[in-house]
Each structure stands twice: as C-alpha cells, then as structure tokens.
Amino acid sequence: MNWISKLQKLGENIKRNIKKKWPTKAEQESSKFVPLNCCNTGPIERSQLEENLFVCPKCSFHHTIDVRTRFDMHFGKNNWQEIKAPLTTDDPLNFKDQKPYKDRLKEARKKTNQDSAVLSCITKINGIEIVVSGLNFAFMGGSIAQNETENILYAIQTAIDKKCSYLVCTASGGMRMQEGILSLHSMTRMTIAVNQLKKNNLPFLVLYCAPATAGGTTASITSLSDIAMAERRVTIAFSGKRVIQGIVNEKLDERIQRADWVLEKGFLDLEVERKEVSNKIYSILSILLKKDQLSKKNKDEASSDIIKTKEAS
Ligand SMILES: [Zn+2]
C-alpha cells in the first residue's frame, strides 16, 4: 500500500466516523436538547426553550410554533374550543408536480393533525370573547387554498353571529399554487368577508407570527386589519427579497421586510414579544370595544336629544 492509498483509507475512515456520529431525525426529535440555529450558541434543553415560549433566551429569536401550541400559550390550555368548518373538494385541478397534490395533502395532515393549514377557535381573554384563526406554517408553508378559505369564512361568520372580535395569527407563504386560480379567488372572498366584519363594527386584529407571511396572504386578508401586530423580527413581505433585488438591481437595506423595518414604514402598528401577546390583545380590545360602546352611547344620547327637541317644538 503506497502513501496515497493510506491517505485515502484514512479519509474514508474519518468520513464514516462523522456520518456515524450525526444523529438521525428520530434521535434529534426524541433528544432532550435542541440545536439553536438562531445565534449559533449550541444546543439548549428542550424544556428550557418550552418554558421560554420557544423564544431563544440568548438572542430573543422567536422560533416557529404550531397553532395548537400557540392557542394554549396565549389563551390557556382547555380554554379554547375549535370551530370545525366543512371541507371542500381536496384536489379540484387534479394537480401533480414532483408528487401528486393529494399525497402532499395526506402528508401535511398526518404531520400536523389538522385538516387544513387553518385552525380556528373561539376563546375568551380576560372575559372578552374572541374568534381566532391560526395559520400553521408546518402545513404546506401555511399556504391558503379552498379549505383554508372556508375555515376563515366560517370563523368570520361565527364572529359576526356572536358579535365578537376576530383575530388572525398568520404564518403563511401565500396562496397555494396547486389550486391555481381557485386559490387566488380566495383573496376576493376573504376581502368580502372582512368587509362584513367592518360593516358590523367588529374589531379585526392580525398577529404576524414567526417565521413569515408573504404573497397573497399579505395582499389580501392580513393587510385589511384594524390593528396589525407582529412578533419580534418576523418577515412581512409580498415578494421575496432576492426577487426584488434582482428587479431593481441594487443592494437593499439588510432589515428590509423585517417587522421593525415594516413598523418604521407605517405598515405595522406594533411589534410584540411572545409573552406579551395576550396582554396586548386584551388592552387593544378593551380600548376598541369601549370606544364602540362610547360611540353607541353618544349616538343614543344624540338621538334622544333630537326626540326631546322635536317634542319641545
Ligand atoms: Zn438565539
């Protein structure tokens, strides 16, 4: 064996050992420790991250969480009831890319234990009733198609029937291309539904959640809110940064499309820490609802004044 073959053998041994030491996905999921990619400070105990509401204790990065965890976190365990919406046709266009769309849906449902990317519920925050829809990024990137739209419309109708406020916790890549024009049509349907909320004088809030909201979701429902909140430093965009950079052919601000930048530009009302979300929602709703009551009281007083004036004349 000459020195080149010896070196090659040594290299292969090192490669084999590295591969052996690399944990499998199942091992990673069952491990007590989770890697923190946000600030490269090494792994952290899973329980510690959970206690900190999945926010990095070192750099305050807000990690992505699923909708059920979010509802438990903000509204309390067993303090919210799911609103089940009817499902429509799963695959209207019989769509297939590298995989049939039906298979992608099946996988997403198994992974998230949800029928669609949207989960809606009715809950109370310090006694104020509210209907909430949450988009799950783990379900095909939180994209919106027909089933998701039906769920949102059903939730909005529930809010109108119960005369309570509506909140959307959004984490979504936009409209789902596998349902083509039918997904795009959802933008109009959601816009009309939000207008119905406004006609009924019901507050509509949006919370932009980690990791991002983009495309048709930003271009329709989420931009129509009365108050727009965002978790710290999430991405809020229409098209991706690289796409814009390619079109304008110049270097963009590093913070572009980040919540603090969007706030500066006036498209956002406030940036909140995850632990502050329910308190903020409560204070906003109490202000908005009191204002509604006040304006109603003023209207009543004004109309009784008119009646009195008529009687006097
Ligand atoms: Zn970190």
Distance 261 CA to ligand 1 centre (A): 20
Q: Please give the distance of CA 306 from its chain centroid, rounded to a whole number.
A: 47
Distance 246 CA to ligand 1 centre (A): 30
Q: How many CB atoms lie within 10 A of CB 12?
A: 10
- The CATH superfamily assigned to 65-312 is 2-enoyl-CoA Hydratase; Chain A, domain 1 (3.90.226.10)
Distance 271 CA to ligand 1 centre (A): 18
Q: Which residue has the tokens 């089940």?
A: 84
Task: Please report how the helices 146-162 and 180-199 are oriented relative to each other, as an axis angle in degrees rounded to 10.
Answer: 10
Between vectors from CA 305 to CA 302 and to CA 306, what angle results, nearest 5°? 90
Domain ranges of the chain: 29-61, 65-312
What is the gyration radius of the CA atoms in the chain, in angstroms? 24
Predicted confidence (pLDDT) per residue in 95-148, tens digit = 998 999 999 999 999 999 999 999 999 999 999 999 999 999 999 999 999 999
Distance 136 CA to ligand 1 centre (A): 22
Distance 91 CA to ligand 1 centre (A): 40
Residues 21-40 have a mean pLDDT of: 77
Distance 61 CA to ligand 1 centre (A): 5
Phi, psi (rounded to 5 degrees) for 25? -65, -40
Predicted confidence (pLDDT) per residue in 280-291, tens digit = 999 999 999 875
Distance 35 CA to ligand 1 centre (A): 10
Under a CB-based contact definition with an 8 Å cutoff, are residues 6 and 20 in contact?
Answer: no
Distance 38 CA to ligand 1 centre (A): 4
Whole-structure pTM value: 0.84
Distance 34 CA to ligand 1 centre (A): 12
Distance 39 CA to ligand 1 centre (A): 4
Distance 72 CA to ligand 1 centre (A): 23
Distance 255 CA to ligand 1 centre (A): 18
Distance 36 CA to ligand 1 centre (A): 6
Distance 45 CA to ligand 1 centre (A): 13
- Residue 313: predicted pLDDT: 47
- Taking the C-alpha atoms of residue 48 and residue 52, their distance in angstroms, rounded to an integer, is 6
- Residue 120: predicted pLDDT: 97
Between vectors from CA 305 to CA 300 and to CA 306, what angle results, nearest 5°? 100
Mean pLDDT score across all residues of the chain: 89
Q: What is the 3-state secondary structure (H, E, C) of the chain?
A: CCHHHHHHHHHHHHHHHHHHHCCCHHHHHHCCEECCCCCCCCCEEHHHHHHCCCECCCCCCECCCCHHHHHHHHHCCCCEEEECCCCCCCCCCCCECCCEHHHHHHHHHHHHCCCCCEEEEEEEECCEEEEEEEECCCCHHHCECHHHHHHHHHHHHHHHHHCCEEEEEEEECCECHHHHHHHHHHHHHHHHHHHHHHHCCCCEEEEEEEEEECHHHHCCHHHHCCEEEEECCCEECCCCHHHHHHHHCCCCCCCCCEHHHHHHCCCCCEEECHHHHHHHHHHHHHHHHHHHHHHHHHHHHHHHHHHHHHHHC
Distance 33 CA to ligand 1 centre (A): 14
Predicted confidence (pLDDT) per residue in 44-94, tens digit = 888 999 999 999 988 999 999 999 999 999 999 989 999 999 899 899 999
Distance 62 CA to ligand 1 centre (A): 9
Residue 17 has pLDDT above 80, yes or no: no
Distance 26 CA to ligand 1 centre (A): 23
Q: How many CB atoms lie within 10 A of CB 74?
A: 23
